[in-house]
Amino acid sequence: MPIAAPPAELDPSTLPPYAVALKESVAYLPPEQRARVMQAFAVGAKAHAGQERRSGEPYITHPVSVAIILAGLGMDAETIVAALLHDTLEDTPLTRAELAAEFGEVVAELVDGVTKLDKMRFGTRQEADAESFRKMLLAMARDIRVILIKLADRLHNMRTLGAKDLPARRRIARETLEIYGPIAQRLGMNKFRTELQDLGFRMLYPDRYRVISERIRAALGNRREAMAKIRAALAERLGAEHIECRVVGRIKSPWSIYSKMRNEHLTFAQLMDVYGFRVVVDSVVNCYVALGVVHALYKPVDRRFKDFIAIPKANGYQSLHTVLLGPFGAPIEIQIRTTEMDSVAESGIAAHWAYKTDSGPANNAQARARAWLSSLVDSQVNTTSSAEFIENVKIDLFPDEVYVFTPRGDIFALPRNATVLDLAYAVHTDVGDHAVAARVDKKLTPLRARLESGQMVEIITAPSAVPNPSWLEAVVTGKARTAIRQHLKHLQHEDAVDFGHRMLDRALDLRGFSIDGISPEVLDRYLASIKYRRLEELLADIALGNRMPDRVAAQLLQARGKQAGDTPQAPHANENIRITGAERGVLSFANCCHPLPGDDIVGYLSPGKGIVVHRTECPNVAELAKMPERRVGIEWDREVRGDYRARLRVEVANHPGVLATVAAAIAAADSNIDNVEYVERDPTAATLMFSMEVKDRKHLADVIRRVRRTGVVSAVHRYPM
Q: What would the pLDDT profile of 368-394 be if each residue is shown by its tens digit?
A: 666 666 666 666 555 555 555 655 565
Maximum average pLDDT range among 141-145, 364-368, 491-495: 491-495
- pLDDT of 177 reads 86
- Looking at the chain, the whole-number percentage of residues with pLDDT higher than 70 is 84
What mean pLDDT comes out for the span 123-137? 51
Cβ-in-10-Å burial (0-12, 13-18, 19+) of 554 comes to middle
- pLDDT of 374 reads 64
The answer to whether 190 and 348 are in contact (CB under 8 A) is: yes
Note the Cα 633 to chain centre separation in Å: 43
Do β-strands 610-615 and 587-589 pair in parallel, antiparallel, or remain unpaired?
parallel
Give the pLDDT band of residue 709 (cuts 50, 70, 90): very high
The answer to whether 526 and 515 are in contact (CB under 8 A) is: no
Q: Is 398's pLDDT higher than 60?
A: no
Q: How far apart are CA 141 and CA 654, in angstroms?
A: 66
The answer to whether 514 and 520 are in contact (CB under 8 A) is: no
The answer to whether 118 and 89 are in contact (CB under 8 A) is: no
- pLDDT of 287 reads 94
| 428-440 residue pLDDT tens | 999 999 999 999 9
| 218-236 residue pLDDT tens | 877 667 777 888 889 999 9
Q: Is 535's pLDDT higher than 60?
A: yes
- pLDDT of 380 reads 58
Position 164: which residue type?
K
What mean pLDDT comes out for the span 21-30? 90
Residue 658 has, within 13 A of its CA and on its CB side, a CA count of 19
For the full predicted model, state whether its pTM sits above 0.85.
no
- pLDDT of 367 reads 67
Domains of the chain, CATH where assigned: 7-205 (1.10.3210.10), 207-350 (3.30.460.10), 364-484 (3.10.20.30), 485-575 (no CATH), 644-718 (3.30.70.260)
Helix 206-240, helix 284-297: angle, nearest 10? 100
| 408-419 residue pLDDT tens | 877 787 887 899
- pLDDT of 292 reads 93
The answer to whether 644 and 619 are in contact (CB under 8 A) is: no
- pLDDT of 124 reads 42
What mean pLDDT comes out for the span 70-98? 88
Q: Out of 9, 24, 52, 90, which one is annotated catalytic? A: 90
- pLDDT of 1 reads 47
| 103-114 residue pLDDT tens | 988 888 888 877
Maximum average pLDDT range among 3-12, 97-106, 479-488: 97-106
User: Lowest-pLDDT range, 337-346, 483-492, 512-521, 565-574?
Assistant: 565-574
What mean pLDDT comes out for the span 18-31? 90
- pLDDT of 139 reads 61
| 295-350 residue pLDDT tens | 999 889 887 888 888 888 777 788 999 988 877 777 788 999 999 888 888 877 77
Do β-strands 577-579 and 634-636 pair in parallel, antiparallel, or remain unpaired?
parallel
What mean pLDDT comes out for the span 128-135? 54
- pLDDT of 353 reads 55
Cα dihedral sign for 435, 436, 440, 442? negative
Q: How far apart are CA 438 and CA 426, in angstroms?
A: 14
- pLDDT of 700 reads 94
Position 463: which residue type?
P
| 639-663 residue pLDDT tens | 887 788 999 999 998 888 889 999 9
Position 103: which residue type?
F
The answer to whether 122 and 173 are in contact (CB under 8 A) is: no
Is 214 a known active-site residue?
no
Give the pLDDT band of residue 520 (cuts 50, 70, 90): confident
Q: Out of 57, 76, 91, 635, which one is annotated catalytic? A: 91
The answer to whether 666 and 706 are in contact (CB under 8 A) is: yes
Tell me which residue of 394, 353, 325 sits closest to 134, measured CA to CA. 394
Cβ-in-10-Å burial (0-12, 13-18, 19+) of 342 comes to buried
Q: How far apart are CA 278 and CA 187, in angstroms?
A: 21
Q: Is 359's pLDDT higher than 50?
A: no
- pLDDT of 389 reads 62
Give the pLDDT band of residue 697 (cuts 50, 70, 90): very high
Q: How many residues does the chain have?
A: 721
Task: Say which residue, 520 or 3, is predicted with more confidence.
Answer: 520
Give the pLDDT band of residue 136 (cuts 50, 70, 90): low
Give the pLDDT band of residue 366 (cuts 50, 70, 90): low
- pLDDT of 68 reads 94
Q: How far apart are CA 460 and CA 440, in angstroms?
A: 11
Q: How many CB atoms within 10 Å of residue 478?
A: 25
User: Lowest-pLDDT range, 114-118, 229-233, 453-457, 693-697?
Assistant: 114-118
- pLDDT of 303 reads 78
Task: Say which residue, 392 or 512, is predicted with more confidence.
Answer: 512
Q: What are phi and psi of 275, to 5 degrees?
A: -120, 155
Q: Is 126's pLDDT higher than 50?
A: no
Maximum average pLDDT range among 379-393, 565-579, 583-597: 583-597
Q: How far apart are CA 306 and CA 285, in angstroms?
A: 16
Is 498 a known active-site residue?
no
Mean pLDDT for all residues in the chain? 82
The answer to whether 478 and 521 are in contact (CB under 8 A) is: no
Maximum average pLDDT range among 67-71, 576-580, 621-625, 680-684: 67-71
